[in-house]
Every structure is written in structure tokens, then in C-alpha cells.
Amino acid sequence: MRIIFMGTPDFACPTLQKLIDRKEEVVAVFTQPDRPKGRGQQTLPPPVKVLAEKYGIPVMQPLKVRVPEVVESIRELAPDLIVVVAFGQILPKSLLEIPTHGCINVHASLLPRWRGAAPLNWCIIAGDTETGVTTMMMDVGLDTGDMLLKKTTPIDPDENTQSLHDRLSTIGAEALAETLDLLKAGKLVQEKQDDSLTCYASMLKKEDGLINWNKEPLAIKNLVRGMTPWPGTYTFLDGKMLKVYRVRTAEGKGTPGTVLATGKQGLEIACAGGSIVIEELQLEGKKRLPAGDFLAGYKIAPGAKLGHKDAA
């Protein structure tokens, strides 16, 4: 089959690699434009572009895939199928109707549970114990198309978004391969989604990572896990931002946001119905460190308060 691949970040690369390894006819790759990245704001190509160019696959980077001239260029490529993985743009109806076999999306959740931009993060924040990948036929809605194939994986109670991302990207590639095999054999079965079972996984913003110490220990731990490595969780100490990378729950008691204890094991903070021990952190202007190492050089007295920037 003549396949157009649409994807942008690292998450999409294993699926593109799988298509290449299977010797599928990938006639073009569509990805987002090169953009500034990191502290130096150096303009860098998306990971999918780097991979495609390694194999000599033509790469297109339209600012908007829905404009008529881009849709027409896709039509001229005469694809049998379009495969979409974390592309980052909504596909219009005029484009969805072009491929003979439609557009198949590799979605990083067990639909219909999490639709939207950040299902990996939100399933952890919500405390889900399992997730997975769903391949689906795309329609004009946001992740509303018919489901094709699902592959599940447990979520470890201590893992963060990075490790889940890496695992699901590989599972997604396998799911797409199995979906293609079923399609070619004429055995692909479409299943409607139950809209009543869905949650919206909105795109994350930096302010979503501010820790609310009035929440229970497990909710705070899940927030830290779901926001790591990006956009990150944080609180404020002595008017400075304190980034929080790893925590565990505990059973201390006190006013939420109050430092209960400090030591080699970490920084214990009271929250609703218990406490949180911060095990890895980074104070504004300092290095990222295990909490014990940080506390060896930065004294924090029990009774100190963490919270908003203007907290006492």
C-alpha cells in the first residue's frame, strides 16, 4: 500500500520505523515545521523528520495541513492509507476522504477513556492503574473515530510520564503493525466508541504543575508523576520556585504546606490527610539534587511554609 505518515515527536518514531522495517511504501512524511527548542532557542527539526530523511523519504512541513494546496498535494500522492501518530494538527474532512482505506491514528490511551492532547499525563494524574494504545479510524471529531485494535499495559505506581511514554511508543508501533495485517487480510473490525465513558485530556500548561498542599498525598504524588518530565511540578520556598521531581506518600500530620521534618530521607511536607516526602528537587538558581544532598547545604526549619510565591 502507498502510505503517507503524519507525526512529529519522539513518540511517533517507533511507528514510522516499523513501517520502514516492514518495507511498506511510505511515499511521504508530513510533520510540523522546524521550531526553536531549549534554552538556546536553536531551531531544530522534529524527530520524525530526522528519521524520515535518514531513509530518504520525502518530508513535507506545512504550517497548516488543512489549506487547499496542501490537501491537493496529498491527493496527488494517491495514498491508499494515511497513518497518523501525534502529528499535532487536526485533519479536515477533505483530507480524511482522500485515502482508499482512510486515516488510521495510533492514540496513546485506551479509548474512549482519554481523548485529547495529553492522555499519557492525565491517566497518571488521575491514578489509573492501566492504560495502553488504541488504533482508530479518524473522523472529523477529536479522537472520536471507530476503534480498531487495543493493546494494554499496567501503570506502575511509581512510574512517571517519561517511562510510560517510552513503553507506549513501542506498543503503538506493534499495534499499528497488527492493524495493518488485519486490514490487508480483510479482517479489520471497527467498533463505535461510547461517548459517555470519555474524559478530556487537555493540553498541559506550566501553571497546572503548581502543587496544592490541600490535596491528599496520593493526588499530589500522582500529579508529580504525571507532570514529570514536562511541564513539571513546583511549589515555592522562601519566595523562590522549588521544582519537585520525585515524592513518596507518608502519614505525617500538620497544617497543609508546613515542613514537618528534614533529613537524609527527604523533605516532609504536610498535606490533607497525611504528608508528602520530597525525594528529588531543584530550588530556583540551584542544581537538581536528591533532597538529602540539597538539605545538607540549605537549612530549612520544621514549621517553614511552602505554597504560593507570596506565602509566608
> Which 3-state string (H, E, C) describes 209-236?
HECCCCCCHHHHHHHHHHHCCCCCEEEE
pLDDT attached to residue 137:
98
Could you give the percent of the chain with pLDDT greater than 70? Answer: 99
In sequence order, what DSSP letters do the residues of 56-99 get, joined into one string?
T--EE--S-TTSHHHHHHHHHT--SEEEEES--SPPPHHHHTSS
pLDDT attached to residue 312:
41
Confidence of residue 39 (pLDDT cuts 50, 70, 90): confident
Indicate the fold that domain 2-201 takes in CATH: Rossmann fold (3.40.50)
* DSSP helix, strand, coil percent of the chain (3-state; round to 5): 30, 30, 40
Q: Mean pLDDT over residues 178-193, rounded?
A: 98
What residues does CATH 3.10.25.10 cover in the chain?
Answer: 206-297
Q: Is the pLDDT of residue 91 over 80?
A: yes
**How far apart are alpha carbons 259 and 262 in whole angstroms?**
8
8 Å CB contact between 65 and 95: yes
Each residue's pLDDT tens digit, 240-288? 999 999 999 999 999 999 999 999 999 999 999 999 999 999 999 999 9
Q: Mean pLDDT over residues 58-82, rounded?
A: 98
Instruction: Judge if the upstream peptide bond of residue 45 is cis by omega within 30 degrees of 0.
Output: no
* Closest among 234, 227, 226, 240 to 278, alpha carbons compared: 234
Dmax (CA) of the chain: 68
Could you give the percent of the chain with pLDDT greater than 90? Answer: 96
Q: Mean pLDDT over residues 115-120, rounded?
A: 96
Confidence of residue 40 (pLDDT cuts 50, 70, 90): confident
Q: How many CA atoms lie within 13 Å of 93's alpha carbon, on the beta-carbon side?
A: 2
Q: Mean pLDDT over residues 194-213, rounded?
A: 96
**How far apart are alpha carbons 156 and 168 in whole angstroms?**
13
8 Å CB contact between 155 and 131: yes
Radius of gyration of the chain (CA): 23
Each residue's pLDDT tens digit, 125-161? 999 999 999 999 999 999 999 999 999 999 999 999 9
Q: Mean pLDDT over residues 53-79, rounded?
A: 98
What residues does CATH 3.40.50.170 cover in the chain?
Answer: 2-201
**How far apart are alpha carbons 277 and 229 in whole angstroms?**
19
pLDDT attached to residue 245:
98
Higher-confidence position of 39 and 82: 82
Joined grid coordinates for residue 147: 476503534
Name the residue type at position 308: H
CATH number of the domain at 206-297, please?
Answer: 3.10.25.10
pTM of the predicted structure, to 2 decimals: 0.94
**How far apart are alpha carbons 28 and 14 in whole angstroms?**
16
Joined grid coordinates for residue 59: 518530508
**What is the average pLDDT value for the chain, to the nearest integer?**
96
Confidence of residue 310 (pLDDT cuts 50, 70, 90): low
Three-state SS for 43? strand
Q: Is the pLDDT of residue 31 over 50?
A: yes
Confidence of residue 83 (pLDDT cuts 50, 70, 90): very high
**How far apart are alpha carbons 106 and 169 in whole angstroms?**
9
**How far apart are alpha carbons 263 and 139 in whole angstroms?**
54
Q: Are strands 240-250 and 259-263 parallel, antiparallel or unpaired?
A: unpaired
